[in-house]
Amino acid sequence: MNLLFTADHIERLCHINNFIIKKDRMHFFGLRGCTPIDTDDLGFQKEHQLRLTQIDYTHPLCTIGQWLPQEGRIAVFPASTVPHIRYVKFSRERNGDGANQLMTGYYKDYRKGIHKPGGPTAHPAFRQTEAHPIRRTADDFDFDNDDRVDFVNPYDNIHAAWNMGVNHDVYSSAGCQVIVGYPACAARPHLADIGPWKVFKENAYAIQQESFPYILLNGLDAHRVDAQPGKKISVRLRYGSEGALALEVQRALRDANAGRFYEGKLDGIFGDRMLRAVLEYQTAQFGPQADDGVVGPVTAGALGITWQTV
């Protein structure tokens, strides 16, 4: 299924998810299970054609993009937002340690820095600077709602994928967000950055901005806004959401079952404590397969909250 994805779409997704953005900054975004149709069109445009795909943990079947809110333009790059199957298989034998999948959300600080400093593959990239929620699988070779969530910094950086393209069945990620192409590094002496990675890195390193917000959603989220132009859509709250509605959910979680679920500060910020509370509440109400950590109409209805559309 194809969609025409625009800068307005990413702005609308931020509104739907209650992500607070700064329009004077370049933002990165990821769409899991959604690839650019023209993987050679790497320029900033008002819109790009994308295709929904099925993640297979073998090929880079995602999009990572760059968004200039003030200019209303986006650039899109073939990428992966999930670990490669070889790392998943390795980690399964270790109770999930060694590979992970970053949960969808809004992550405020991916900073210019070196990926794997000191090693032969070290190269300038964008480093994760703090603990984020990740899933680990210990029972199979994909990541489901019943897989455990850890709150750690596994250094899921944004870097080169060491990959030729979407049909190439090898890429370098145990949980990092990776973009098709190869880096300039000691392991490739006298060779320059190449492929989509080269353009992505140069776009961001050419500006003075040091820290980049990263919006990670699913391809189906992008399809939803593309397929319903002008129609109101139910709000979603997830990691990184902020505002009055998040505050209302915090209060409802605090009041549910005598405060069992949420005992944190009522600040309207969907952070670690609130995510833990949402996951525990969803598991208690709907079962372990339903704890996706996203508050939508069903979870809100169980909490007795009249839900919004925007």
User: Is the pLDDT at 98 greater than 90, yes or no?
Assistant: yes
Inter-CA distances, 223 with 5, 159, 172, 250, 251, Å: 8, 26, 28, 29, 32
Specify the pairing of strand 211-218 against strand 27-32. Answer: parallel
Q: For domain 235-302, which CATH number applies: 1.10.150.120, 3.40.30.10, 3.30.1110.20, 1.10.101.10?
A: 1.10.101.10
Contact 182, 188 (CB under 8 A): yes
Mean pLDDT calculated for residue range 243-267: 91
Grade residue 230 by pLDDT with cuts at 50, 70 and 90. Answer: confident
Mean pLDDT calculated for residue range 269-290: 95
CATH 1.10.101.10 residue spans of the chain: 235-302
Q: Per-residue pLDDT tens for 100-119?
A: 999 999 999 999 999 999 99
Mean pLDDT calculated for residue range 142-146: 93
Contact 99, 175 (CB under 8 A): yes
Q: What is the pLDDT of residue 258?
A: 63
The two three-digit tokens of residue 292, written as one number? 């996706």
Report d(CA 211, CA 48) in Å as an integer: 25
- Per the prediction, the chain carries an average pLDDT of 96
Half-sphere exposure of 36 (CA within 13 A, CB side): 25
